[in-house]
Chain A
């Protein structure tokens, strides 16, 4: 009638980072190549067309890196003091950079020659950008002003001096040559239209000094960062606040779009870069860096991620190509690969194909997923034939017991159900006994497995109670006992802390509630689990003793 139903492997959802499509995508970045510069990396700009050169401004020079070779392709050193905010034109031919003396310098990448110098700012210029028509430059200066320059005539067209503090952030619209955005340390973000020279069209208050701003390609939304907050504004609604996201715990310094405008990346002084989904502003992945991140650059195809750090390090990470991914798997020769393609059905690996990989944020709830795989695992084959020892041997293989202990525990659970655990454990030689004992000692602390592991350990003690053991096994039994004792100690401590917390909670809730109510307001199932494990552990200690 019914076909054999597979053994259920219960794996509780992992606490911590979830495995999602995004984490898998961003995890594919290779080990970074780092270059050390003399000063902090102020700004990184990526050429929007191939070969995606990267302009890095740090100290008194601007360097253009080749992202493939990681070599300096060009460098511009004609700055007296620090150079800031070098940005490459969309055709990849010109680069513009601001500097400490208040000038804006325009270079030709091909010939390395200085083409124009725009003079007029009284303070250092930290950011400058080409407009969408490629013949104007917008500059953002510490003299609290924003200026629009004409490229051919080298003249200033408009100047807006509306800010009351340094203007350290700015960007231009990608479709309109007249719109640009400035962010200042006076907490405001202003949108200017070159066609209305009277003043800014939108001004919004960010709440803290603005470090970077960004306009979405559609020209309807812009984003500002500063302090620990990311704010999203609706441009069409006149600067309505759409979202406030605070995911960094130190100042956010830079902003970048990635994945074709579907993801937003922020870097901060807390040494992280966070990747957000642009629809929900949820963090989908976090990149870690060794030092505070000041600037970020991502190539349009997401192939290279460049981060500039406060200690002068530039980290360049490439995405793994399929060939590289293959090469990373060691010890698999071409012959092996061929073999694995043809006879994979008979390999033990088949066991892992049906492991659930969906995860749920709630830690005490298991997600139901369908096992469509009709492949029968080896342990199921033995279970079907009532060969319990062999089934247990199968799941005590090195790979399964170390990498997928849930499978081992699942089979042990099934053996308990079938009343076959005793016979599966009995009559083992020294080496297989030591494997079991090591497995038990390793996993007895895991709250999701401990219930079954304790049961197995008790049965094992029953079976080998009166038999003569080798010194090695005896040592392992004592080792297991040590583990249990330690766990019991931990649990005692935890329960003490829990008790303290209960007192605190109770004292805060009694003021609002009358009557003899005793409710743990929130302790869900999970909180209670360790105490049960502890209780069960305690009974086991008796057995050992």
Chain B
């Protein structure tokens, strides 16, 4: 570590190198911390969580009973022990609450004044976070499995919605119109995802084992379909031509830079694809247990090298290295199936929610303090109990001193 700091100081190393090294070290040491807790508000399983992209301060969670909760993740108390409080809830008593389970929630990418939630009651609601009332309700004909707003779009504000219908609907937030439809799949759409690199590229995964990548500006069909055998027709039986998996595809995730796309399927496999060409990179992750009949929310780390994939596997979260496919570790702590996980890129923390109604925060293990520091802090702690971290101490002094 000191070597990295000196190299950075001397200008031998790029500043990014130190940051990446430290982020990777932190991700490799993720553990459950007794000091960090998330308020338990849900009475039923948690289906989806989302952390806002602007500040990384608020977290949304949607539950199987239709309840939506907003948590504050920042720790402004000066204590080590912190429990993320629920700021507000759309509970069962609210007039506008979803009737059935909430499947996807997402913050509006530019500020936390608005969020969108979609549910099995065949509606998608756009909520005002201040008043907790829906500003707009979109109704559909089948269960809504997944929706996604593009995190980088400036020219459009389309929400891609995947429902039981094989057609993907694009709902416009500005005008409320839903006439733009993408046709091509043959079965229900389990997951949709916009690319974080281009605002017109959309990837969709369906129960017919296919994953299609679309350019929404084009009038014709999809750009390409992902093929697990890379066009080598000899490897598979003839029904499995042009499929991404040998079963339903229920999870999609782009890497942070948008260059690669990860897909998971009920054939217990996870595949890494080059998002520009649609080529299967043939990284072998082994058996990634997947029994979900709905969308699986998994996530990729950002800012580390090598990048890590966090996949919910049964009642634990498996961590794989992105490009080599090796299983780095398994995070065990939930009492029941884990349904969703989300990575906080600024603090390298992982939040996971599952059927046991808990959201667990996996926090990097803090560095062990040196022997000298320990004795000094022991003296300080005796004198001054509240200040644990000298960074929080008020060191301001007025000019007249």
Q: Tell me if chain B binds chain A.
A: no
